[in-house]
Amino acid sequence: MHWFQFLIMLPFIFAVFVPILYKTFTPRIHTGWFVLFVPLLIFSYLITFIPTIANGNTIISSIPWMPSYDINFTAYIDGLGLIFGLLITGIGALVILYSIFYLSKEREALHNFYVYLLMFMGAMLGLVFSDNVFVLYVFWEMTSVSSFLLIAYWYEREKSRYGAQKSMLITIFGGLAMLAGLVMISSSSGTYSIREMLINVDTITSSALFIPAMVLILLGAFTKSAQFPFSIWLPDAMEAPTPISAYLHSATMVKAGIYLVARLTPIFGGSNVWFWLVTGVGLITLLYGSVNAVRQTDLKALLAYSTISQLGLIMSLLGLGSAAMYFGLGDETVIYGTAIFAAIFHLVNHSTFKGSLFMVVGIIDHETGTRDIRRLGGLIHLMPISFTLTVIGGFSMAGLPPFNGFLSKEMFFAAVNNAANMEFFHMGTIGILIPIIAWIASVFTFIYCMILVFKTFRGKYKLDNDRVVHEAPLGMLISPIILGSLVIVGFFFPNLLSNYLLKPALTSVLPVLSEAEVVDLKIKAWHGFFSLELWMTIGVVVLGAVLYLNLRKWYKVYNFYPQSLTINNLYNLALNKMEQISGSITNFYMTGYIRDYLVYIIGFLILVVGGSIWLLDGVSFDSSNDAPVTFFEIAVMIVAVVSAGTVLFSKSRITSIVSVGALGFLVAFFFVLFRAPDLALTQLVVETVTTALFLLCFYHLPQLRKEISQIPFKLTNALISIGAGAVVTIVALSVNGNRLFDSISSYYENAYELAGAKNIVNAILVDFRGIDTMLEILVLSIAGLGVYSLIKLRLAKEGSDERAK
């Protein structure tokens, strides 16, 4: 295995040893110190690839997984994958460092926490570096499962379980839709490799499956990245510990959908359907998240909706930039392609300032015991470092200088203004709405950022508990300080990041851009006094400040919207209705009677198999090669039919049991006639034991001993019995008369030479199918142990009851 694939699997490998380390060293050493080296090692290794990727090269390594299906674990590093890999491991290391001081080693189940976290980290790395679409899907669903475990980490809390369930249901639904889309584009292109799909774009776009595959894949991306209307899972996921929120919901999991859209833009970009779906959903999500963030009273809920808003901003930029694929080479490609450049830049910026803000909110909650904005205030003198970090992160998110969020926000305004001037994709009619929606959402973004900063730290001290509030310990501050420093450094030295990471990522998303066009891209803080972006920013600040200062006067407008029509309530209503309907259906067929279950199963078999044979004209008999039927065989068959009929029409349970036993013994006679003494002996033993067990049950169960004089005849039983027998007989005769392949029995004729066994049946059971036989014995042994355990528990309970008396 190449070193690169080994490092992708390293989090999974190390997760195996976390419980051992936890049990051995707790409470002397925090388990996080052992886990910290994993992301640091991977991050350090990925840094070594920066010069190679910056020079326009890519790195590919492949190991076989299921070569017969052309599914291999191919790790592919380009600019886009590298920038995600650095975010996953870099912020992952800072989150683990933060968690060491945030989570108590005495009170928390740290072995669970770090196992889940490493699982998630490995899944994200596998996702962003996978070239095979089905390997990507495997890691995609692993992120859903591991995030479910992380969100439900405090599983004793009802809200944690509810949030984990909601995230699982929504993201798994999207993942299944995405899988269908991936199957479609794979069948259209004839390959499972994303790199090869980029070569066969024309084949995919001309396929009838192009639009359905696009919609299904976008469903997966939208659900994972909390786009409207699937964004409802993200606020409830905030019930997870703050380190999880800082990692999953700012830098990694919610960016998986962003990654997928960016990775597949070379395939679907240039299509007006892709453009409008990605841009439209992104803008709606941007506006929805920013408007709802203002009304939140919980700091983490505010950050959750702000995350939704920022994800919508990045998604809309990817949609706007996909228009560059419409032109190919040319000036228009550069103009619209800068939106992709802005999306990648803001993705990095958002990870830095939002990760810092989540950690600071965790510090506030840790030190004050609350996240309720209405109970907070006046903390600026008690927690000056936290206040400074909040200002840095909050102002960057609001798009103010001198922070990196200002630069990418200005590029966002430039992109929406360029979109308004498009003369294709029907932009002439509603294109003007794009900058208007973006500007309104930015105003609300400014408002909730001011709420976050000033409502928490300014004003009167309102805390009414007995806590002595003070600044967090240095260990808890290191990670947010590092991220906050990157926010400022990103403003003053943006092109350093651009040259080595952003531009290689841009060429991965937009391969139509020439090298010269990419080199000319520069990030500037100043675009001129008369630039429209600057005046849009001034308008955001002025109107946002006015609305923030008069918040109490207009805040009540939120009360006019009926709560019963919120997406969250509609989700709960739909979930409750589905549970009621499924409960009704389950209660209908789960009667507790084995007879009913057999009727369902065998009836389904009759309908499906029998109906298929009838509709497809599958009944075809050919008895020319069959052996002649002897008198003894006919006689045994007649007696067997009479025995089966006796079971069906019998009025006595004893008679039915005896008839079933007689039928089994007649089958043994068939084996004797067909010269299979071993099978006959086995059948006799089994039938004897079965009949004896039936009689024992009849004797020991009082209700069965109350003999019913007249057992009513049931037509359903007769129809099911006759139908099942007829279908199985017809299938057997049809198969015997239509041999499409040579019989495998000829292979076993050499049993003595192959296995050294004179008995072909024993050779098949012990040698040719030895593993099957061993597993069957294992299953029977487990069942026997289960029965033995139940008997011992019953006897132990009876013994304790006797002693209690």
Note the maximum CA span of the chain: 108
Residue 737 domain flag: no
Span 773-784, average pLDDT: 89
pLDDT tier, 58 (very low <50, low <70, confident <90, very high otherwise): confident
- Given this model, what pLDDT does residue 145 score? 92
Q: Is residue 789 part of a domain?
A: no
Q: Worst-scoring range by mean pLDDT, 486-490, 719-723, 767-771?
A: 767-771
Residue 568's pLDDT band, with cuts at 50, 70 and 90, is confident
Kind and range of the H or E run holding 63: strand 59-66
Number of domains in the chain: 1
Find out whether 98 and 246 touch, Cβ atoms under 8 Å.
Answer: yes
pLDDT tens column, 492-510: 998 888 888 998 998 888 8
| Predicted pLDDT at 169 | 92
The percent of residues above 90 in pLDDT, for the chain, comes to 38
- Dihedral sign, Cα of residue 666, residue 672, residue 673, residue 676: positive
Average of per-residue pLDDT values in the chain: 86
Indicate whether 578 pLDDT > 70. Answer: yes
In the block, tokens 């990648």 appear at 344
In a domain, 353, yes or no: yes
Tell me whether residue 373 is in a domain: yes
Look at residue 634 in the predicted model and tell me its pLDDT. 85
Joined together, the tokens standing for residue 787 give: 């029965």
Residue 45's domain comprises 3-549
Q: How confident is the model at residue 743 (pLDDT cuts 50, 70, 90)?
A: confident
pLDDT tens figures, 144-202:
999 999 999 988 888 889 999 999 999 999 999 999 999 999 998 888 889 889 888 88
Tokens encoding 197: 């799909």
Instruction: Find the angle CA(443)-CA(448)-CA(454) to the nearest 5 degrees.
Output: 120
Instruction: Let me know if residue 47 belongs to a domain.
Output: yes
The confidence score (pLDDT) of residue 687 equals 85
683 lies in a domain? no
Q: What is the pLDDT of residue 74?
A: 85
pLDDT for the residue numbered 805: 59
Report how far residue 444's alpha carbon sits from residue 442's, in angstroms, rounded to the nearest whole number: 5
With a cut of 60, say whether residue 486 has pLDDT above it. Answer: yes
Q: Tens digit of pLDDT for each residue in 291-308?
A: 999 999 899 999 999 999
625-677 tens-digit pLDDT = 777 878 888 888 888 888 888 877 777 777 788 888 888 888 888 888 888 78
* Structure confidence at residue 1 (pLDDT): 46
Decide which of 479 and 722 is more confident.
Answer: 479
Scanning 653-769, the segments in alpha helix (DSSP H) are 653-673, 677-700, 702-705, 715-737, 745-748, 751-755, 760-763
Q: Confidence band (pLDDT; 50, 70, 90) for 516?
A: low
* Structure tokens given for 427: 């932009």
Distance separating alpha carbons of residues 518 and 584, to the nearest angstrom: 61
Residue 736: the pLDDT is: 73
Q: Which amino acid is at 235?
A: P
> Which among 561, 302, 645 is positioned nearest to 447, based on CA atoms?
302
- Mean pLDDT lowest for which of 612-626, 656-670, 697-711, 766-780? 697-711
Q: What is the pLDDT of residue 703?
A: 61
What are the CB-based long-range contacts (under 8 Å, 24+) for 704-707? 704/653, 707/652, 707/653, 707/654
**pLDDT top residue among 139 and 700:** 139
Does residue 573 form part of some domain?
A: no
In angstroms, the CA 73 to CA 1 distance is 10
